[in-house]
């Protein structure tokens, strides 16, 4: 069991999402962020005649790394859960992994790091696609007032 899963199990209030799936998505996002950071740097060290066509791929790597890191953090917080915010950020991560996966795939046959990064993006995209409908903000009223004990807001 990873630390991610252990932290979910020891959270002092209830988490309504499936614990295993949540841990898997958070770990996929963390791994994808690292892979994208590394892929951007690997692209920068490609030979001079290769580098220009990798410019967009680098940019997409940087966006995807930032967005996956932030989304992993949002999904790691459960206190005062806000469905609309989580849903919107997960949608942004879905788009970022799709965009970056497409960019890296274009270079997968010439650059191994792009092939691996495309794979990390696709896996994360699929994990997010499966999670997204479970985050749908319900037709619920506004969040409970924050005077409610925070441990009941999970």
Q: How many CB atoms lie within 10 A of CB 26?
A: 22
Answer yes or no whether residue 135 interacts with a copy of itself by CB under 8 A: no
Cα separation values, 96 from 4, 43, 90, 144, Å: 22, 18, 10, 32
Site string for a copy of itself, 12-31 (x = CB under 8 A): xx------------x---xx
In this structure, what DSSP letter does residue 142 have? S
Cα separation values, 93 from 1, 65, 98, 130, 137, Å: 25, 10, 8, 13, 17
The H-or-E segment that residue 56 falls in is helix 55-75
Indicate the residue among 17 and 116 with the shorter CB distance to a copy of itself.
116
Which residue in the set 112, 129, 130, 134 belongs to the binding site for a copy of itself (CB under 8 A)? 112
Which residue in the set 18, 88, 130, 134 belongs to the binding site for a copy of itself (CB under 8 A)? 88
Q: Among residue numbers 21 through 80, which ones bind a copy of itself (CB under 8 A)?
A: 26, 30-31, 33-35, 37-42, 44-48, 51-60, 62-63, 65-67, 69-70, 72-74, 76-80
Answer yes or no whether residue 146 interacts with a copy of itself by CB under 8 A: yes
């Amino acid at each position: 069991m990873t630390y991610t899963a252990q932290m979910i199990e020891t959270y002092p209030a209830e988490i309504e999402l499936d614990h295993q799936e949540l841990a898997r998505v958070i770990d996929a996002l963390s791994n994808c962020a690292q892979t994208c950071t590394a892929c951007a740097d690997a692209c920068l060290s490609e030979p001079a005649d290769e580098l220009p066509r990798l410019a967009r791929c680098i940019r997409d790597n940087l966006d995807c790394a930032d967005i996956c890191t932030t989304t992993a953090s949002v999904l790691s917080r459960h206190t005062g859960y806000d469905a609309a915010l989580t849903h919107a950020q997960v949608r942004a991560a879905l788009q970022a992994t799709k965009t970056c996966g497409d960019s890296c795939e274009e270079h997968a046959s010439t650059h191994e790091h792009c092939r691996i990064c495309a794979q990390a993006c696709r896996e994360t995209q699929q994990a997010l696609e499966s999670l997204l409908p479970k985050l749908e903000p319900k037709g619920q009223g506004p969040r409970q007032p924050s005077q409610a004990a925070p441990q009941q807001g999970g």
